[in-house]
Amino acid sequence: MSIYLLATLDTKGPDAAFVRDRLVELGRDVVVIDTGCIGKAAFPAEVTRESVFVAAGTTLAAVQAQKDRGAAVTKAAVGATTIVLDAFKKRQVDGVIALGGSAGTTIGTAVMRALPIGVPKLMVSTLASGDVRKWVGDKDILMLNPVVDIAGINRISRQILSNAASAMWGMVQHRPTGCSEDKPLVAATMFGVTTLCVQHAREVLEAAGYEVLIFHATGNGGQAMESLIREGLIAGVLDLTTTELADDLVGGVLSAGPKRLTAAAESGVPQVVSVGATDMVNFWAPDTIPIEFKDRKFHKHNAAVTLMRTTVEESKLLGQEIGHKVSTTRGAAAILLPLRGVSAIDCEGEPFDDPIARKALFDAIRSSHGRVELLEIDAHINDNAFAEAAAKKLLQLMKGK
């Protein structure tokens, strides 16, 4: 097996050669994939650029004739992904490391996102110091900021690239072994304001013999959970914290996209769904909040995160969305309503306590859940009684399946 190294050898050749040589010194076989298309390659690659574009259904000559850098990057990403996935299926891939600016990052992370979680992935990117969600997606990609541009070896890049090679070697050399995979997996969603609920529910599920994967409902977490459900790895879903739907509806910063809350229904995986933290939309520091929300009710969660209370109308729309999405399920499902509040700050005496908005949310679910079982619990979402009811209902649904 080998470490696959991706780089445009016409612009990042010396840097790629340095990383390759360092990995070889550490005792690893390296397969270099040249994803360039313009200038001459700095050295021969094990996988040539011609092979990359053929794998993408075109030719290097055709791409060069098009004179469209964006199109070339897109094709290179497709070709490189095809080649690495084929090698992975043949058990030839230990890990993937890539170097690049915007083009190299687009290509390298496309390959990495196509690989399963657990395969070592390291992207040395000049974009790594900013918002990297576009490139990381829902996979376990390690982003490393090179500090200086990837444009030749110097006293800074030598150290950074050496660290990158050592990090990749370490991940490959010390991959975990002997992990227990005999327990069925349950996926659960949690936010800071629903932590008490999910932690107690997890204890109930673990006592029943399940392994619980908890996903932080920050957009990326919800996306990752949906992906694993679609991959067939999840036996049951405890989706108690559906706050990402509020961000998607209103325009907050933690949206998981419009497909959130669809994977379990489409796959027929047993699910218990609730309305945790749907009382809030998430923004960063106050000065980042769009001006159209200036008259809304806010709560400072911490120095970096500001929460905005959902309105009665928004709560109604969220209820309709939750009810409709769960009602389309092909499997067993139940919706649980915590009648005394949906988050740690939505209860009597707390800043987001709003009985009218809660009623709008609950009424909308009552009118849209179809044939899906609806349980109304006279408790707050963080009460042990609610957590136990949710966990036991999911155990019942999974046992029934």
CATH code at position 272 = 3.40.50.12030
- Domain holding 155, by residue range, is 2-173
Residue that the structure tokens 């090679």 belong to: 165
User: Minimal CA–CA distance to 88: which of 33, 170, 49, 152?
Assistant: 33
Q: How far is CA 139 from the centre of its chain?
A: 6
Please check whether residue 264 is in contact with residue 271, taking contact to mean a CB–CB distance below 8 angstroms.
Answer: yes
Is the same domain home to 161 and 197? no
> Mean pLDDT over all residues of the chain?
96
153 lies in some domain: yes
Same domain, yes or no, for 127 and 197? no
Length of the chain: 401
Q: Is the pLDDT of residue 58 over 80?
A: yes
Residue finishing a domain among 130, 152, 173: 173
Q: Name the β-bridge partners of 100.
A: 125
Give the model's confidence band at 124: pLDDT under 50 very low, under 70 low, under 90 confident, else very high: very high
Residue 22 lies in a domain: yes
What Rg, from alpha-carbon coordinates, does the chain have?
Answer: 24
- What is the domain count for the chain? 2
Would 292 be classed as within a structural domain?
yes
**Helix (H) and strand (E) counts in the chain:** 14, 14
For residues 87 and 81, give the distance between their C-alpha atoms in angstroms, rounded to a whole number: 10
Tokens of 294: 């200036």
**Whether residue 243 sits in one domain with residue 154:** no
The predicted structure's pLDDT at residue 180: 57
pLDDT digits (tens, 9 = 90+) for 61-101: 999 999 898 999 999 999 999 999 999 999 999 999 999 99
Residues 166 and 200 reside in one and the same domain? no
Rounded Cα–Cα distance for residues 82 and 77 (Å): 9
**DSSP assignment of 42-82:** SS--SB-HHHHHHHTTS-HHHHHHHT-HHHHHHHHHHHHHH
Alpha-carbon gap, residue 59 to 48, rounded angstroms? 12
With respect to residue 70, please indicate whether it lies within any of the assigned structural domains. Answer: yes
237-256: average pLDDT = 98
Residues 236 and 379 in one domain: yes
One domain, residues 281 and 190? yes
Residue 236 lies in a domain: yes
Do 378 and 341 form a contact (C-beta atoms < 8 A)? no
Q: pLDDT category, 271, cuts 50, 70, 90?
A: very high
pLDDT confidence tier of residue 179, bands split at 50, 70 and 90: low
Asked, for residue 100, whether it belongs to a domain, the answer is yes
Are 149 and 206 contained in the same domain?
no
CATH classification at residue 96 = 3.40.50.12020
Q: What is the pLDDT of residue 176?
A: 78
Q: Among residues 52, 40, 50, 39, which one has the least CA distance to residue 6?
A: 52
Same domain for 328 and 285: yes
pLDDT category, 177, cuts 50, 70, 90?
low
Are the CB atoms for 208 and 224 separated by under 8 Å? no
Among residues 150, 173, 196, the one where a domain terminates is 173
Residue 179: inside a domain, yes or no?
Answer: no
For residues 191 and 161, membership in a common domain is answered with: no
Residue type, 141: I
Q: Is the pLDDT of residue 175 over 90?
A: no
334 DSSP β-pair partners: 272, 373
Q: Report d(CA 361, CA 358) in Å as an integer.
A: 5
**323 and 371 both lie in a single domain:** yes
Q: Of 152, 173, 194, which residue constitutes the final position of a domain?
A: 173
In a domain, 43, yes or no: yes
Helix (H) or strand (E) holding 205: helix 195-207
Claim to verify: residue 90 and residue 232 sit in the same structural domain: no
| 21 and 162 housed in the same domain | yes
- pTM given for the model: 0.85
Q: For residue range 296-344, what is the model confidence (pLDDT) as tens digits?
A: 999 999 989 999 999 999 999 999 999 999 999 999 999 999 999 999 9
